[in-house]
Amino acid sequence: MERFRCGGLEILFMKGDITEVEADAIVNAANKYLQHGGGVAGAIVRRGGQVIQEESDRIIRERGPLEVGDAVKTTAGRLRAKWVIHTVGPIKGEGDEESKIYRAVRNSLLLAKSEGLESIAFPAISTGVYRVEPEVSARGMIRAVKDFSRDPGSVKRVIFVLYTDDIYRVFLEEASRQLSQC
């Protein structure tokens, strides 16, 4: 585990399974239809319960499919987290992947702030099924957190939960690049 301070935020990097993390919200790397089949989405619904899929289906019925970069919130069922924030990352090849990841993270953080949450945990958005290079995801994600740290409101702690050794290493390298002069 590595720890950085930036503006009003504590930013942590750990290897692990995000479904086990205790935080006000964990973020899901979702698709536009909030159909949580594989990857981190599948793990969140398997562990948290079907209520997360049911609330997601209700959101889609009410507002239609999400856009890349949108973020919405459901409860978290049996998870230790209180809420799940679902955000949609880009698929490799669609263009502007880094700035779309930036917006997904920024919108997730703004939602957490508007709900008065203190802690939020993120997986490495778009680096699994969506095949974006971990370096690109790390750049966009960390830059979004760094910019948000200027006015974080209620949010005190952001936790990156990285599932593999490789991706953990890439995120730590990017963090030391961007967060050392915070």
Near ligand AR6 by CB under 6 A: residue from 161, 170, 175, 179: 161
Residue 77 binds to ligand AR6 (criterion: CB under 6 A) = no
Element (H, E) at 162: strand 157-162
Shortest separation between residue 153's beta carbon and ligand AR6, angstroms: 25
Other CB atoms within 10 Å distance of the CB of residue 50: 11
Query: What DSSP line would sit under 103-119, residue for residue?
Result: HHHHHHHHHHHHTT-SE
Long-range contacts of 37-40, Cβ-Cβ distance < 8 Å, separation of 24 or more? 38/128, 38/129, 39/128, 39/129, 40/123, 40/128, 40/163
Other CB atoms within 10 Å distance of the CB of residue 98: 18
Residue 168 binds to ligand AR6 (criterion: CB under 6 A) = no
Residue 166 binds to ligand AR6 (criterion: CB under 6 A) = no
Residue 18 binds to ligand AR6 (criterion: CB under 6 A) = yes
By beta-carbon proximity to ligand AR6, the closer residue of 68 and 111 is 68
Task: Tell me the C-alpha distance between 134 and 13, whole Å.
Answer: 14
Residue 89 binds to ligand AR6 (criterion: CB under 6 A) = yes
Residue 30 binds to ligand AR6 (criterion: CB under 6 A) = yes
Backbone φ and ψ of 123, nearest 5°: -85, 180
By beta-carbon proximity to ligand AR6, the closer residue of 46 and 150 is 46
Residue 41 binds to ligand AR6 (criterion: CB under 6 A) = yes
Near ligand AR6 by CB under 6 A: residue from 69, 77, 123, 140: 123
Near ligand AR6 by CB under 6 A: residue from 4, 83, 163, 168: 163
The H-assigned helical ranges of the chain are 39-48, 51-63, 97-114, 134-148, 165-179
- What are the residues binding ligand AR6 (CB under 6 A)? 17-19, 29-31, 36-41, 43, 89, 123-130, 161, 163-164, 167
